[in-house]
Chains A and B, each alone.
Chain A
């Protein structure tokens, strides 16, 4: 447990010299306080897992792992299943990725490879501001601006042109899976963009120069050299965005329609794990309902841990040691 940078002085003179001994007391107190702060963090995590497990014990005992595959959600008869919630969480996040990935990678590549030097930093800064907007403000904007716009223009257009697909079929509601996916896309874009940008900046200039010297156009250099070089890290950036989308609560709660159903149409309302917890927790009827919601929280926690761990592994392999991405979280 000694520091790797500075070996502790030998013990003998320390004990003999009163000044040195007083100093070592100061060091011990200092290190003790810091250690306390550092130890609190893992203890909190252990505590979190324990409390979630205790909270959901009733539902775990009642439904077991079948909870994940069941579609029932009836507080009156005490039947609960998380399948529609898990489905909704995955689908809304998937929609968000489909929209956000091309956009954010386009921006990241443009800002690192093509944009004039003077506008790179400002544009990254402005897009970064999107990440500072609170989720609930996205929700407010989504209810009163985005949904009316989508319902009157984009959704009818999609139905008119692609209505033969079941996902664009059926009645158009305002609050829907697609509305939630679109707001999520806007919210995760700055995260994917900023991590992808850090990864692309880390690609050595010599790689680009070699490709250009061989006669590639600038786009060809990006496509054949830069992107393959950064592929793992970019995948990490995308998975990181996914992790954010899975746990996003307020904006989704306000836009997704909150219905425990699985519909083929993206215009139909749905539900996510986070939204269900947010909506029903304070109004839960009975211990089993509450416990089922805690179980949902436990599942959500498990899913995000797996996704974030995957992202971190991917990013670490590229930018080993540096904390790329940890700030973006």
Chain B
């Protein structure tokens, strides 16, 4: 083999290795999704969505308490986190020279990299320890804190894509700054901001660690945010690590529901953005 063919051979061999890497990277996703459907779909009956758990070790029962709990906890987290995240994001994009912008952006990056379990400990120390009881609200506060920096950064990035000429045109026509910001700038990036918000909601819907010692989990259907509350990720964790086969089946089914919710939210959000704004997300 002469030198030239060897070099070409080497190039092709490396590409071959990379294709192997792609296959190895995609395989886990296929296996996880397939196993979830195989082991979880069989348990998705009416009882699963309408009943609370059967006594330990018994057949049947459902996780309606966890589904309702997740809706409430994530809903409250979104109510707290979205206005703050979007507002701070608009601030950072609209007043880029301000010192607050610099600090807020830096802190958002720090919070983005903070492990969710640490935020759980914080929410525990802040709310649970002072109130002396576990509560769904404390879980929501922890989740809100996780979503704020995410929403902030996507909102800011989206707004910064708006050409300055658009802003200047509105101001030249006599719009005050606040109407320019809300009516022109934010409105033209609304699909992007909604996408970022949905992605953040999808992300916190699957979070378990911050709920462990805030919302705690519960065996009963509860709608009181001041009390411990069940959530789907907590249910998956408790049932997966528990000793009974019936629990394991419920864990698989709960995980399947959880992942369907998360994937529909995040894939839907990305596809909507790609169609709407033509940017790659």
Contacts and interface: CB of A to CB of B under 8 A. Distances in A.
Nearest to B20: A106
A134 B208 contact: yes
A34 B255 contact: no
A112 B90 CA distance: 33
Interface in B112-163: 112-122, 124-126, 129, 145, 148-149, 152-154, 156-157
A308 interface: yes
A130 B97 contact: no
Interface string B170-209: 0100001111011000000000000000000011011111
A132 interface: yes
A3 B109 contact: no
A127 interface: yes
Interface string B227-267: 00000010011001100000010011001001100110011
A260 B114 CA distance: 24
* From A33, A34, A254, residue with most partner B Cβ within 10 Å: A34
Contacts of B115: 246-249, 274, 300-301, 304
Interface stretch (A50-58, A62-70, A154-162): A50-58
A106 B22 contact: yes
B145 A44 contact: yes
B233 A304 contact: no
Given A30-B178, A130-B29, A140-B252, A38 B233 contact: no
Contacts of B181: 30
B71 interface: no
B232 to A, nearest CB: 9
B100 A217 contact: no
B15 A219 contact: yes
A149 to B, nearest CB: 9
A26 B182 CA distance: 12
B178 A106 contact: no
A311 B177 CA distance: 37
Interface stretch (B45-53, B54-62, B80-88, B218-226): B80-88
What is the predominant secondary structure among interface residues of chain A facing chain B?
Answer: helix
Q: Which range contains the number of B residues in contact with the other chain?
A: 35 or more
Contacts of A308: 109-110, 112-113
A13 interface: no
Nearest to B113: A308
A98 interface: no
Contacts of A254: 237, 240-241
B80 to A, nearest CB: 10
* From A104, A139, A304, residue with most partner B Cβ within 10 Å: A139
A41 interface: yes
A137 B236 contact: yes
A209 interface: no
A305 B118 CA distance: 12
Q: Which range contains the number of A residues in contact with the other chain?
A: 35 or more
A323 B157 contact: yes
B87 A217 contact: no
B160 to A, nearest CB: 9
Contact of B107 (A31, A42, A51): A42
Interface in A60-117: 102-104, 106-107, 109-111, 114
B77 interface: no
A121 interface: yes
Interface in A137-152: 137-141, 143-145
Contacts of A51: 122, 125-126
A122 B269 CA distance: 16
A52 B35 contact: no
A153 interface: no
B108 A41 contact: yes
Interface in A182-203: 186, 189, 193
B231 to A, nearest CB: 10
B253 to A, nearest CB: 11
Given A107-B21, A126-B29, A130-B29, 5 more contacts: A34-B95, A137-B236, A141-B32, A282-B216, A326-B109
12 contacts: A23-B176, A38-B91, A45-B107, A52-B122, A52-B125, A132-B266, A135-B206, A247-B114, A274-B209, A277-B120, A277-B121, A294-B125
